[in-house]
Chains A and B, each alone.
Chain A
Amino acid sequence: MLEGTKPVDNVGLVEPKTAHFSESLALASGSELHGFDIVYETYGELNKERSNAILICHALSGDHHVAGYHTPQDKKPGWWDNAIGPNKAIDTNRFFVVSPNNIGGCSGSTGPLTTNADTGKPYGPDFPLVTVKDWVKTQTMLADQLGIDVWAVIIGGSLGGMQCLEWSIAYPDRLKHTFVIAAAPKLSTQNIAFNEVARQAIRSDQNFNDGHYYENDNKPELGLMLARMLGHITYLSDDALDEKFGRELRDGEIKFGYEAEFQIESYLRYQGRAFVGRFDANSYLLLTKVLDYFDPASETGGSLAKALAPATAEFLVISFSSDWRFSPERSQEIVSALLDADKCVSYIEIQSKQGHDSFLMPIPRYHQVMSTALDRIAEGLGIA
C-alpha cells in the first residue's frame, strides 16, 4: 500500500546497522562497559572528501530510526521524517545523515535489555548510569568506524541539543556547525522535579521489583504509563491541549465516575499505553538521569561561557515560543554564553503552538531556517 502513496521526498526503505565495539568504555560514573553495540541508520551518500556528514542526536524517547520506513507495512516513518530526506530541510541528496541510538536506550544499542555476559541475564537495573559525555564519546567511536573525522553539522533537539553542546566542548575539531534546538544548558529544578515524579511512578509500581522485572511476566507498565503521561503533558502547551481536546467528553455527558470521561484523559491513557509497548522502564529511568546530570558549566565554576570556550563550531540555536519545558529563555542562556565566549552564533525563536514537541513538527519557518543554514554550509563544502 505504501508503494504508491509514499511521498517522493522520502528516503524509502531503510535498514538499521549495528556497530560493535569490543574495547572497554570507561564511563563518567567510574563504571566500565566491557564492549558495546550501537545501532544506527544512515541516509544519503558520504562523499569522497568525507565532508558532508551530518550527525542526528536523538532526544529522551527517540532512537536511530529517524527517517524512512523499515518495512512497506510500517504505518509511520522515522521520528523526524518530515525534516530528513531528498529535497527536505536536511537534504539527503547532498548530505550523508547518520543517526545512532544511544547506549542505555532500548532500541537495539547496548542498554538494560542487553544480556550481561557475566550473568547471562539482562543488565536490567545493573546497567551503569551513563552521561551525555559518555554518549558523545561513543558517537566519536562510531564516527571513527565510519571514517568521519569531522561532521559538517551535528543536529539535536532537547536532550539531543545537549549532545550538540557536549560535542562542541569536548571534540571541537570534529564538527564545523551545530544546530542546538529546543535545548537547555542544564535542566531547571522544575525539570528535575518532573523527572523525579516520573521515576517514582515507575519505581513504586508493584511489578517493578527493583528493576528485576524481566524474569516475571509482569512489567511495571502502570508506572511507565504514568511517567509517560506526565512527560507528555509537559511536552505540549496549554493552548495546544485546549485546542485539540478542550473539555470535550467522550460520551457527551458526565457520568460521575473515574473512567476516562474527558477526551484528554483517554488520549493520555492511549499515549501512555502505546509508550509502554515500545519502551523499557529501566531505560526510561536511566535516560531521565542522563538529562538531570548534564551541566557542562559545573566543571568551569558555573560559567557556561568558560565551558564553551574550547568550541570552534558555528552555532545555530533555535527555540520555540510555546515551549515551557525547555523555554526560549533557556536557549537564550546558551546564546548569551556563546556571545560572551565570542563564538559564531545565530539565534531564532520560532513562533509555535505545540510546546516542546514543536521541534518535531514541520513548522515552515523552522524548516526554512535549517535549510537556509544548510544551503550555506553546502555551498561552503562545494556540494550545493
Chain B
Amino acid sequence: MTVVPMLKRTLVLDALLAVAIAVVGGGIGLWVAGTPGVLGAVIGAALTFVFMGLTALTVILAARTTKGDLLSPLFFGIVLGGWMVKLAIFLVVAIVFGRSPAIDPLVLFFTVVASVVGSLAIDVYAFMTSRMGYVSDVKLPHETGDSTPPKSSPKADESSD
C-alpha cells in the first residue's frame, strides 16, 4: 500500500513533536502551575501522540494484514477496532485524571490543542512531501534496489481524448 511509508514517517515525526511539546509545555507548566503543570503537559502530549498515532498504527497493521486491500472488511475492522481502544483509553484517563489535583487541567488542555494542531501540520507536510504513485502497491526503483529501467513500460492511454 503506497500510503504506508507516509504513515510511518508521520508516526516518527509525531513522536518527535510529542517529546518537544512535553518539554516546552512542561517548562511553561512548571512556570505557571508548578509540578501539576509539568504532569499535565506530559500527559497531554502523550495522550495526543497515542490518540493521533493509533490511527496511523492501525492503518499500517491493517495494510500489512490485508496486503493493502482497502475494500477488505478486515481493513476497516482493524482501523475501527483501534478507535474502540481509544475510547477505552479515554475512559481510563477521564476516571484517573478527571478531577485529580495531581495535574493542572488547563495546562493539559492547551498542551493537547497545541499537539493536535502540530500533529495535523505534520500530517499535511508528510502527505505533501511523500512520493505516492497513482497505482497502489507499486515498487519504486529506490525501494527495490533496482536502478535499471523496466523492460516494458506501460503505454500511455493514447486513445483517450
A binds B: no
